[in-house]
């Protein structure tokens, strides 16, 4: 199978805009859960870049638990992010929720497939027909084998630019929103050549343990981190509790790059 080490013994290196991810190349992706306003996203991009981040995240189509919660700015959000990504010279990543949205992502450097869509096989196959990199999040209750099979759905259609993202899985624990499965890094590295990015924000659901999870992920061999941060987390439209303050993002990024030197 195409995601397996047998198919491709060397670690894959995926190009995302002007950066590379995998095979020793590390992604420090930062940004808000949701794109809210031009000003909010630009402020965020400015400190993400200044702190040493090398890619920008932001949701324009949001898979909210409640249909009454903020659903995202849609295409207008993607346009804002494109402009800001260019201005700060960072590739951009955003979640695509449906086949009908794919065409709106022309200026986006990497598609994010959210945890809730990990087994939306029609969407995966359609993304497999594009040649844009895909950040494939692990499903809320998906096994590593199921996650890798979802990568196969994309790769079997021709697009081999897949990056796996562990964002926490459902367990019985209630102190954290989900449980970060750090063992997935080591296991996936044995089974697959694909890069693995860790999302401690959605795993933890709380900003106070993001640093511990991030540093542990780097030490375990992760190829990148995707971190939610907001200039004013209390005012965020989504996931404010888990979003780092600008200063926390800066401190974390500094530590991550220092630790990564030894990997």
What residue ranges bind ligand PEP (CB under 6 A)?
33, 59, 63, 114-116, 137, 167, 202
Site string for Mn ion, 31-50 (x = CB under 5 A): --x-----------------
Selected binder of Mn ion within 40, 81, 239, 260 (CB under 5 A): 239
User: Which of ligand PEP, Mn ion, none binds 167 (CB below 5-8 Å, type-dependent)?
Assistant: ligand PEP
- Specify the residue, 12 or 243, whose C-beta has the smaller distance to Mn ion: 243
Does 166 engage in binding with Mn ion (CB under 5 A)?
no
Least distance (Å) between residue 200 CB and ligand PEP: 11
Backbone phi and psi for residue 86, each to the nearest 5 degrees, phi listed first: -65, -45
Measured N-to-C along each axis, helices 246-260 and 38-51 cross at an angle, to the nearest 10 degrees, of 30
CB of 240 to ligand PEP, least distance (A): 12
What is the residue whose two structure tokens read 């991550």? 256
**Which residue's structure tokens are 């990056």?**
163
How many residues appear in the chain? 263
The CA distance from 98 to 231, in Å, is 29
Residue with tokens 């796996």: 164
How are beta strands 196-198 and 162-166 bridged, if at all? parallel
Residue with tokens 């995240």: 57
Among candidates 162, 263, 164, 143, which has minimal Cα distance to 215? 263
Beta carbon nearer to Mn ion, 33 or 155: 33
Using CB atoms, what's the residue nearest to ligand PEP?
114
User: Of these partners, ligand PEP, Mn ion, none, which one is at the site of residue 114 (CB under 5 to 8 Å by kind)?
Assistant: ligand PEP
Cα–Cα distances (Å) from 85 to 93, 110, 170, 211, in that order, read 10, 12, 33, 25
Q: In this complex, which beta carbon is closest to Mn ion, that of residue 159 or of residue 229?
A: 229
The residue whose Cβ lies closest to Mn ion is 33
* Residue ranges binding Mn ion (CB under 5 A): 33, 239
């Amino acid at each position: 199978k195409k995601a397996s080490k047998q198919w491709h013994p060397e670690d894959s290196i995926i190009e995302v805009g002007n950066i590379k991810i995998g095979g020793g190349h590390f992604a420090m992706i930062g940004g808000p859960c949701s794109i809210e306003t031009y000003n909010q996203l630009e402020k965020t991009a400015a400190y993400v870049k200044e702190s040493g981040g090398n890619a920008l995240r932001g949701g324009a189509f949001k898979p909210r638990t409640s249909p009454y919660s903020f659903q995202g700015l849609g295409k207008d959000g993607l346009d804002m992010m494109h402009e800001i990504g260019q201005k700060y010279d960072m590739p951009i990543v955003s979640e695509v929720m449906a086949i009908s949205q794919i065409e709106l992502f022309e200026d986006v450097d990497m598609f994010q497939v959210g945890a809730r869509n990990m087994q939306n096989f029609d969407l995966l196959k359609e993304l497999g027909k594009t040649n844009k990199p895909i950040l494939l999040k692990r499903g809320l209750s998906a096994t590593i084998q199921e996650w890798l099979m979802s990568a196969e759905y994309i790769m079997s259609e021709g697009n081999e630019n897949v990056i796996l993202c562990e964002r926490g899985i459902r367990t019985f624990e209630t102190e954290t929103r989900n449980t970060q499965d750090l063992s997935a890094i080591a296991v996936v590295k044995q089974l697959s050549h694909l890069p693995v990015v860790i999302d401690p924000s959605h795993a933890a659901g709380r900003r106070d343990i993001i640093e511990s999870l991030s540093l542990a992920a780097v030490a375990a061999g992760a190829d990148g981190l995707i971190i939610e941060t907001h200039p004013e987390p209390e005012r965020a439209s989504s996931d404010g509790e888990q979003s780092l303050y600008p200063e926390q993002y800066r401190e974390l990024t500094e530590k991550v790059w220092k630790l990564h030197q030894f990997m």
